[in-house]
Amino acid sequence: MRRLNLKAIPIIIIVILFLSILVAFTKTINKPLRTDSDVVIKVNEGDSFYSIINRLSEDGKIKGVPFIKLYVKVLGKNIEVKQGEYLLKKDISVDKLIETLTTESSLNIVNFTVPEGYTIDDIAEKLESEGVCSKEDFILAINEYELPKYVKVDSEKRYNLEGYLFPDTYLIKVGETPKEIIEKMVLRFEEVLKTAMDETNTSVKEKDVETVITIASMIEKEARINDERPLISSVIVNRLNDGMMLQIDATVIYALGEHVTTVLDRHLEIDSPYNTYKNYGLPIGPISNPGLESIKAALKPEKTDYLFYVLQDDKTHYFTNNDVDFMNKLKELGY
């Protein structure tokens, strides 16, 4: 029987420890930021490279500060940062970080926020009002954008990209083209869709993405609180399964192309593939750009037998599976 060489064990431990540190060191130098999005940082007079990375560390936006400082010291780099605002890409390396902070910055950044439930027209108007780009240029870019494979092209849709511009806050450099802005929003949508699937332990085939997002877009417009999103989702699914018209007011408002506070009987008659009071099944496509919680609700609806819901005075919804109960509730609420 071979005897275990106890003297070799410490050496093995040292080697393993060294390799672990080396891997962590390499990962840090190649990708020091720990954020899912780009970062804007302002360099003030008197700031040093070390004070900047310390500030980023305090904000939880950078990792491995001791490794970075060691790397700079070993290489003997003399870093003189320059004042200004800088956009740090989320996958930036330490070398590129140094290069960026030591180059004159003429960067002007706009923090542009897309609220959940905004339509493409809403986004276009906000871009124009905040001086990012004109509404016309953005809509032109929307119509010319090369569509992802999961988007079903249909000439009857208002916009084929509706539903796929994820509502979030974006760092937009002055001078970026509408196409580049759209690309950011679409890529963010794809990231969030993956997050939604991970968090709900579900998966969606490419051909079914539009169904999910169309349902999510209606949930986004109908829901007021997060807890009710899966319930609203269940009503949509149950009505579809029972062959009932969805009869969702938000689809009528989208079909109208203008906001109305109250949907009247005359509005319900609009001839549009988005109008779920005149057409069975889902509208022809999404009616808004939904947020994460609505996408999750569409992926994983609550298991209920509800077929109806109505908004109450406290902004919650009343749910029921009985049409008589529903009609009585409508009368009670003064609808």
Same domain? 40 vs 138: no
Average pLDDT over residues 303-317: 94
Residues 45 and 142 in one domain: no
Do 117 and 211 lie in one domain? The reply is yes
Check which CATH number belongs to the domain holding 81 and give it: 3.30.1490.480
Whether 330 is covered by a domain: the verdict is no
Q: What is the pTM of this model?
A: 0.75
When pLDDT is cut at 50, 70 and 90, the band that residue 3 belongs to is low
Best CA proximity match to 192, nearest among 263, 93, 116:
116
Same domain, 292 and 159: yes
| Range of the structural domain that residue 165 is part of | 108-304
> For residue 313, is it within any domain?
no
Residue 78 confidence (pLDDT) = 81
Residue 238 lies in a domain: yes
Domain shared by 97 and 161, yes or no: no
Would you state the pLDDT for residue 270? 92
Structural contact between residues 86 and 38, judged by C-beta atoms closer than 8 angstroms: no
Contact (CB, 8 A) for 317 and 311? yes
Are 53 and 125 in a shared domain?
no
Residue 325 lies in a domain: no
What's the structural domain count of the chain? Answer: 2
Mean pLDDT of the chain, nearest integer: 91
Among 101, 119, 152, the domain-final residue is 101
**Is 207 domain-assigned?**
yes
Helical segments of 201-286, H only: 209-222, 229-241, 249-256
Selection from 129, 136, 55, 126 nearest residue 88 by Cα: 55
pLDDT above 50 for 273? yes
| CA 24 – CA 22 distance, rounded (Å) | 5
What is the Cα–Cα distance from 43 to 50, expressed in whole angstroms? 12
